[in-house]
Structure 1
Amino acid sequence: MNTQLPLAGIRIIAVEQYGAGPYGSMFLSDMGAEVIKVENPKIGGDVSRQTGPFFLDENDSYFFQTFNLNKKSITLNLKSEAGRKAFEALVKTADAVTNNLRGDQPEKLGITYEALKHINPKIVCGHLSAYGRDNDRANWPGYDYLMQAEAGLMSLTGEPDQAPARFGVSMVDFMTGAVASLGLTAGLLGAYRTGQGRDIDVSLFDVALHQLSYPATWYLNENHVTKRVARSAHPATVPCQLYKTKDSYIFLMAMTDKFWEILMLLLNDDVLKEERFKTVAQRRENRDLLTQEIDRVMAANTTAKWLEILQGKIPCAPVYDLPQAIESPYIRDIGMVRKVPHPSNPGMEVLGNPIKVDGKRLDGKACGKMGNSTHELLAELGYSEDQIAELKAQGAI
């Protein structure tokens, strides 16, 4: 254990699987918390161990490792009497229990604060569900894409007059996991201050809806309906969109008068300097015409050439595909690729944690086989070799 990390000494039990929950708890494990992943031996553990198409061994995958670095794994069947007893013994030693189960499951499994406070009054219980635990959708299953659809995010994504589109990756899962880890950390701080634990709830739907941000505020207060704009443009600020270059596209964001003036110096085009484009309001009113004129100027050079001229002076970026993004030298220069040795791939690489501690990226250690820490943790709790063998024979571990 790296005792210099902020969460060193914190023990978190994670009843989790797949994406949102494991993504959030991995921030905590990366920051030094001892995250103990509870996996049900009756179903082969976290379902993401079997999520392909690329596998590391018979019950491990690159998908699983993406969300579970620096974690321990214990096999426990929480529905068995012996498994529950072992779980409660572990709760006595822990600071938090977190889960990403369906909203009606934490109470049924007895992993709420009400169910655990007699064991450990300081325990913080984090719940990440699809729709929350306190409404008539508590027992509904739910996934990221459904939230993007119902919360209105798909309606804002894609080109006008085309079918609504989802984000390219499961951003609602990831945002919800990050918000859940923030909520759990706040709960831990409160418990250390007061000696009192609590429940912390976060749902996919609530987080998805919250991501509507200022378009929601505009609608709530002014009844304004934000719509999709061509070229992935900002709904109100111009220029802020894709523009055509000689060979591809570039994203330009001259969103203030200051950046517009710099852009005009760099492009040095008489039409763009005309009065009708002088102010933010005028540029918004003449968006379509301005798009044509900037396209005309940008068509003179390749994207690479424009980046040489513009980067570092005004906000702009190339539009990369996945290989280009991952193979960019910049991401290795800043340490956003980390090597995480795995028994089946000693050179395994994953993306780095975006948080730096004392100016350094956080290290990563592959999550071991399902139940790799079961024996160690049970022995720590006082179980003898014979008792551990009996638990295994009973199917409790």
Structure 2
Amino acid sequence: MSTAAPRKPLEDIRIISLEQYGAGPFGSVHLADLGAEIIKIEDPSVGGDVGRYVPPYFEEEDSLFFETFNRNKKSISIDIKTPEGRAVFEDLVRNADAVYSNLRGDVPEKIGITYEQLKHINPKIVCCSLTGFGMTGPRMKEPGYDYVLQGLAGWMELTGEPDGPPTKSGLSLVDFSGGYVAALSLMSGLHAAARDGVGMDCDVSLYDTAMAMLTYPATWHLNAGYQPSRISHSAHPSLVPFQAFQASDGWLVVGCAKEKFWQRLAVVIGRPEWALEDSPYATFSDRNERRAELIAELDAIFATNTVDHWLSLCYPASIPCGPINDVEQALKDEHLAARNMLVETEHPRYGTVKQLASPVRVGAEIPEYRRAPQRNEHAEEILTQVAGYDAAKIAELTAAGAFGAVKN
């Protein structure tokens, strides 16, 4: 039996990343946690990744926002707009498995990071470009931001109370979902490249992601003319009840996604007759047709007691339910710690930084966590071990401005 430490799932993967802000770094941080070597190329002319300067919790080039998306990564400052910087970039590509970026749709080709532009250096390179609108189509050159796409893709019209304005999600779900899609696309590309010996482009966009996540409401509309509308209390469009209810001291969610849950809920709330075959609320269709009257009845019932009271009845009956927590309450849930979802890293400015782990799990080993890199922190390691440069070559490139303007 070998006593060697188990290898991390992706520790043999090297990714050169021109990533910035949220969506791109969010996608690659899961790969970094699984052992992939993520080499962030940061533009020295703009101070590196803009995520370093996101308020309110930032100082100089450190921010808690940046820490969230960049743990377990390495950083080097390279100005790839200069011939010397471009040469360094290509030497890194020569010894990498993938090039990853999140830029505007027309930029990857402009700066020469598509497969066609890099395959002469490394035929197996996978070039994953996460852009706002993709690398084709009439919106290709438009900048893509989460809030804009939530509106464009119809999400905001679906969100909020019926008499309120269109509302965005409380989190940047297009950005984060786009990051997951990019990571999945990149890993699929790496698998194919390892199998076939040929790399490719992965043209991933936030727009495609947001549109695809319309899922069944889109299918209903395309095939049956369904017109979505907002429903009070964040209710499901067809499953009744499945929504937020206000108790005497707060809010909870109760959902009946199966008939058995409705039958149990009817007993719990003291209305067992509502689950009988001759009840006007007996089936999914019955409850949907009589949504307004049923929800009014349920609202009145749930208002008579506390959140804890209702949960104490619903949990033992295995009815899908839960409190509507604030962020502090959510982070204190004992299940979070039990699932090893709280991460601590040590930082020279912040001391111990606490954050959430990646939900991506592969095998039984718990990932190791290292703080996000300082800008250019790993330059010497990357230039010597990946690019293969000696001290004289590094000095020559530095003088030529490959790593940023030379200070006199």
TM-score (norm 2): 0.94
Counterpart CA distance in 1 for 2:260 and 2:68 is 41
Task: Summarize deviations over 1:216-261 as a string: whole Å, max 9, x none.
Answer: 0001001111111111000011010111211122110012111111
1:379-394 correspondence to structure 2 within 5 Å: 379-380=384-385, 381-394=387-400
Within 2, Cα distance between the matches of 1:298 and 1:384?
71
1:315 and 2:292 aligned: no
Q: Aligned pair in 2 of structure 1 residues 195, 3: CA closer, same or farther (>3 Å)?
A: farther
Verify the 8 A CA contact 1:2 1:32 in the aligned structure 2: no
Amino acid paired to 1:235: P
Contact 1:353 1:361 in 2 (8 A): no
Matched, 1:22 2:25: yes
RMSD: 1.6
Q: Does the residue aligned with 1:243 lie in a helix, a strand or coil?
A: strand
Q: Shift of the alpha carbon at 1:2?
A: 7.4
CA contact (8 A) 1:14 1:37 kept: yes
Deviation at 1:52, TM superposition (A): 1.4
User: In the alignment, which residue of structure 1 is the partner of 2:196?
Assistant: 194
Determine if the alignment matches structure 1 residue 279 to structure 2 residue 273. no
Distance in 2 separating the partners of 1:192 and 1:155:
43
- Deviation (angstroms), 1:266: 1.9
1:274-311 deviations in whole A, cap 9, x for unaligned?
71111111111111111121122222320012112212
Q: 1:329 aligns with which of 327, 334, 338?
A: 334
Structure 2 residue aligned with 1:208: 210
Q: Which residue of 2 aligns with 1:99?
A: 101
Cα distance in 1 between the residues matched to 2:129 and 2:362: 27
In the alignment, which residue of structure 2 is the partner of 1:134? 136
Q: Does 1:291 align with 2:302?
A: no
User: Deviation per CA, 1:141-192, whole angstroms, max 9, x where unpaired?
Assistant: 1201111001101010001021100000100000001000000000000000
Separation of aligned partners in 2, 1:66 and 1:290: 43
Residue among 364, 374, 378 paired with 1:373: 378
Match of 1:163 among 165, 183, 191: 165
Gaps of 5+ in 2: 404-408
Kindly indicate whether residue 301 of structure 2 is the aligned counterpart of residue 306 of structure 1.
Answer: no
Equivalent residue letter for 1:323 = E
Secondary structure at 1:165's aligned position in 2? coil
Q: Secondary structure at the match of 1:35?
A: strand
Question: Deviating runs (4+, > 6 A) in structure 1?
Answer: none
Whether 1:355 and 2:360 are equivalent positions in the alignment is yes
Is the CA contact (8 Å cut-off) linking 1:253 and 1:314 kept in structure 2? yes
- How far is the alpha carbon of 1:116 from its aligned partner? 0.5
Distance in 1, matches of 2:146 and 2:115, equals: 27
Question: Partner of 1:184: helix, strand, or coil?
Answer: helix
SS in 1 for 2:87: helix
Bigger shift: residues 67-76 or 340-349: 340-349
Q: 2:242–2:254: 8 Å Cα contact kept in structure 1?
A: yes
Alpha-carbon distance in structure 2 between the residues aligned to 1:251 and 1:24: 30
3-state DSSP of counterpart to 1:277: coil
1:396 and 2:402 aligned: yes
Q: In structure 2, how many angstroms separate the alpha carbons of the residues matched to 1:230 and 1:112?
A: 46
Q: Is residue 2:11 matched to residue 1:8?
A: yes
Matched with 1:38 is 41
Q: Is the 8 A contact 2:263 2:272 kept in 1?
A: no
Match of residue 186 from structure 2: 184
Q: Distance in 2 between matches of 1:277 and 1:207?
A: 37
Matched, 1:255 2:257: yes
Q: 5+ unaligned residues in a row in structure 1: which ranges?
A: none
Does the CA-based 8 Å contact 1:75-1:374 persist in structure 2?
yes
Percent identical across equivalent pairs?
A: 45
Task: Report the alpha carbon displacement of residue 273 of structure 1 after superposing the two structures with TM.
Answer: 4.8
Distance (Å, rounded) in 2 between the aligned partners of 1:99 and 1:112: 10
